[in-house]
Amino acid sequence: MTHTQAMPPAVAIEPLGTAVPSTVPTHWYNLAADLPEPVPPHLNPGTGEPLTPADLAPLFPMALIEQEVTTERYVEIPQAVREIYAGWRPSPLVRASRLERALGTKARIYYKYEGVSPVGSHKPNTAVPQAYYNALEGTTRLTTETGAGQWGASLSFAAALLGLTCEVWQVRASYDAKPYRRMQMETYGSVCHSSPSELTDAGRAMREAYPDTTGSLGMAISEAVEAAVKDPGAHYALGSVLNHVMLHQSVIGQEALVQLAEAGEKGADVVFGCAGGGSNLAGLTFPFLGQNLREGTTTRLVACEPAACPSLTQGEYRYDAGDVAGLTPLMKMYTLGKDFVPPSIHAGGLRYHGMSPMVSHAVHLGLMDAIAVEQDDAFAAGLLFARAEGIIPAPESTHAVAGAVAHARTAADGEVIVIGLSGNGVLDLPAYSAYL
């Protein structure tokens, strides 16, 4: 068997029978069960009618399609997935005592650290179940896009464990700036292309229209979707935006609620998460939001997005395509327009023109706040955090840190602040160099 050949999926997806700590969640939490109004449905881009399972079947396995539309509050996590989760879950909730001292705040600051996963971010929380359900249905190949590279690396990791091959289109700005991410994907056995590429019709059209483009997630999505649709043995996997991704990421916030109670806290007063497509933010905040809706708690939830790509704070709430070529379903979301090409900011994982429909709906209903963070402020906060707590945050995570730091400077005594530290920046150090 060569390094490019996959194990038979029937072998790879069977539970190993290893012990899984009871603290690893047994179910994913679905905010759709508790929202006061349902999320507007996705639409078929050709007919403008609500999507049917048949519309999504060329892209996703049926189990994920069912999760995309379910309104059940809890969805059971397969044992094989829990076994893989147990390699790093539950992720730690850490009291940031040294950061508190550096800020001179009387607030109590905690961070939920997802950088302990094998690839260094929260993305495997959904990569593993997506690969699992695809393998279960007989898919042999996955295609996807990636910005900073953490999603591409995570799907490559999951595909390797579950017997699939994986092909990744990475936004050109990140592909050029972060070669170690490509090497990480290749180490797991995947192939990574710079996007837009010459390998797809969509890529060639975009290169002709924008010959000097640095790429965008919307462009890379078009290429990955096209490649999947043309191969009957392939499916597409998305690392953010869609409802089933928000569902899988809910392990973050579910754990945080339990861990806060174990730390002697009655809850959180305010929670800060970085916001690009919405997966880390939703995973952390949706369990808190569900508690607000069911039990009347008043935790404030804050989406921290980059000022260079401000979909929530400056976008329009309307139906839009998730990709440049218009191959994906139309989604009701805050969007800057599918043709928006953000500047090549260092936080490559946040360079998306739209926001998750579920996150957008929560913001639209006034259930969640949003702020835009300038890049200089984000990296200043990242350096402050690294020098106080010892962990170098991923450039994306620095936006949440910046939001929390600004709030903590004027926070009331005893206020409880939670930061979503979605990953580490060990492979993103060149992004920090301009600020040293």
CB contact set of 414 (below 8 Å; sequence gap of 6+): 106, 107, 108
Q: Does one domain contain both 211 and 277?
A: no
DSSP letters, 253-309, are HHHHHHHHHHTT-S--SEEEEE-SSSHHHHHHHHHHHHHHHHH----EEEEEEETTS
For 143-158, how does the pLDDT look when each residue is reduced to its tens digit (9 = 90+)?
999 988 999 999 999 9
Contact 133, 159 (CB under 8 A): no
pLDDT at 4: 45
Same-domain status, 354 and 405 = yes
3-state secondary structure of 33: helix
Give residue 344's pLDDT: 64
pLDDT for residue 3: 46
Average pLDDT, integer, range 53-77: 95
Q: Does 26 reside within a domain?
A: no
72: in domain: no
Is 80 exceeded by the pLDDT of residue 5? no
Look at residues 188, 210, 238 and tell me which one is the last residue of a structural domain: 238
Residue 254 gets the label, from left (phi > 0), alpha (psi -120 to 50) or beta, of alpha
pLDDT of residue 325: 76
What mean pLDDT, rounded, does the chain reach?
93
Q: What are 161-202's pLDDT values in tens digits?
A: 999 999 999 999 889 988 999 999 999 999 999 999 999 999
The span from the CA of 279 to the CA of 273, in Å, is 10
My answer on whether 310 and 340 are in the same domain is: yes
pLDDT band (50, 70, 90) for residue 370: very high
Verify that 284 and 413 share a domain, yes or no. Answer: yes
For residue 358, the model assigns a pLDDT of: 98
* Domain match, 363 and 249 both: yes
Share of the chain above pLDDT 90, in %: 85
Domain tally for the chain?
Answer: 2
Q: Classify residue 189 as left (phi > 0), alpha (psi -120 to 50) or beta.
A: left
Residue that terminates a domain, selected from 238, 261, 279: 238
Q: Any idea which residue has 């910005």 for tokens?
A: 147
Give one DSSP letter per residue of 210-248, joined into a string: -TT----HHHHHHHHHHHHHT-TTEEE--SSSSHHHHHH
Does a structural domain hold residue 372?
yes
Indicate whether 416 belongs to any domain. yes
Q: Pairing state of beta strands 416-421 and 270-274?
A: parallel
In this structure, are 285 and 386 located in the same domain?
A: yes
Using the 3D structure, point to which of 238, 260, 289 is the last residue of a domain: 238
In one-letter notation, the amino acid at residue 134 is: N
Residues 373-428 have pLDDT tens digits of 999 999 999 999 999 999 999 999 999 999 999 999 999 999 999 999 999 999 98
Residue 49 lies in a domain: no
Q: What is the CATH number of the domain that holds 279?
A: 3.40.50.1100
Same domain, 280 and 392: yes
Amino acid 349: pLDDT: 62
The answer to whether residue 18 scores a pLDDT higher than 90 is: yes
Is the same domain home to 116 and 204? no
DSSP for 115-163, written as a single string: TTSTTSBSTHHHHHHHHHHHHHHT--EEEEEESSSHHHHHHHHHHHHHT
Same domain, 394 and 362: yes
Identify whether residues 315 and 408 lie together within a single domain.
Answer: yes
Q: Are residues 186 and 158 in the same domain?
A: yes
Domain limits at 109?
A: 85-120+243-433
